[in-house]
Amino acid sequence: MSTANTPPEAAAPAGFALFRQGLRPFFLICAIWAVVTVVLWLVALHGGGLPDGPLPGARWHGHEMLAGFVGAALSGFLLTAIPNWTGRAAYSGAPLVLLAMLFVVARLVLLPGSPVPVNIAVPIALLPIPALLVTVLPALMRAATPRLLGPPGLLLAFWAGDVLMLGEAAGWWEGTFESGELLSLNVALLLVGLIGGRIIPAFTRNALRAAGQDIEPQPLPGVDTAGVAALLAVTVVDLVAPGGLLAGAAATAAAVLAMLRLSRWLGLRTLGQPILWVLHLAYLMTPVALSVKAAYLLGDATWAANWLHLQGISAIGLMILAVMPRATLGHTGYPLRASRAMVAAWLLLPVAAALRAFGPELLPGMLPFTAAGALWITAFGLFLAAHGPMLLWPRADGKPG
């Protein structure tokens, strides 16, 4: 875009643009960390001699897939959404640089082989989310809209899971790592239900209208509220009474309500638009994962024992991989059209989830772990190839941001 006749004060800045809005650094960190974490874990599984750091290898892997990968995605989402919700300018410049640096340092101090003592590494690793919440709180308070506090409140609950995980490692308390892991995992799923339930019907309605169709999603009365409440119940029950019949019943109810919600969103009418149908596919993984969890908890089905990975990879991971390209395109001035690379990535991730969740019962040795990891790495590598440059450089339409 030519700026020859544009006043200097209105011209969009040129050059490196990584710290001009919140999604740029955090979506990039999210995708890079998705690749790095799984590469290192596959090295460890194949006898690569990955040294322990502040956390043992298996716990580092579980923690970083949540606090690192999911945490980066949630941070990028909030830092981008809150300016839209409140009307303030985008978070950029020095505050954004500081938040991104804190997040990266938190990852580095926990790396396998890190020489940082655990009692120092843990407080450092717990800093990023409180720092982010302190950054966004003034805008939320000025907005004086209570409902806007919901997502930041859930991010705080997600961080509480991190505190439980790392607090055990630091010796602050005992036997809380698994509880914290499950809390963070379930809060992430709750955010999928809350945010997905808002954006998927809205995006579908807008797309159908643009295509000249006058039909729009019609939710069943009370089901949306009940569906979110059921996911909240899953989170609470898994915290106070995990692994039992009550947890299985909560998962069953949440699965039924999630499927009812999805059935009203006209997903079949989006099949010609990959950037839209992937949102429906990602949300479908919520009732699928919850159903598998219920089968394990209520029916003691051994084939369903890895439900946690199904929830993490498909219901949460695929939703992240569905939202990040769309948000990146929209906030960097590109048309909302999915590339072939991203369509391939979206198809690979459910296969990775199925291999990791069900493969150990069906396939020999390390094959399901290696195959699932390779597909995961490929999917997020495709995102980096397709959208990484968009996050690094100025908007295609010449606008600020």
Indicate the residue type of 208.
Answer: L
Q: What is the pTM of this model?
A: 0.95
Domain boundaries, the chain: 18-174, 177-396
CA atoms within 13 A on the CB side of 3: 12
Question: Which tokens hold the place of 174?
Answer: 């005992």
Q: What DSSP state is assigned to residue 146?
A: G
Per-residue pLDDT of the chain (401 residues; tens, 9 = 90+): 333 333 333 455 678 999 999 999 999 999 999 999 999 999 999 988 788 899 999 999 999 999 999 999 999 999 999 999 999 999 999 999 999 999 999 999 999 999 999 999 999 999 999 999 999 999 999 998 998 999 999 999 999 999 999 999 999 999 999 999 999 999 999 999 999 999 999 999 999 998 888 888 888 899 999 999 999 999 999 999 999 999 999 999 999 999 999 999 999 999 999 999 999 999 999 999 999 999 999 999 999 999 999 999 999 999 999 999 999 999 999 999 999 999 999 999 999 999 999 999 999 999 999 999 999 999 999 999 999 999 999 999 999 88
Per-residue H/E/C for 155-180: HHHHHHHHHHHHHHHCCCCCCCHHHH
Per-residue H/E/C for 36-88: HHHHHHHHHHCCCCCCCCCCCHHHHHHHHHHHHHHHHHHHHHHHHHHHHHHCC
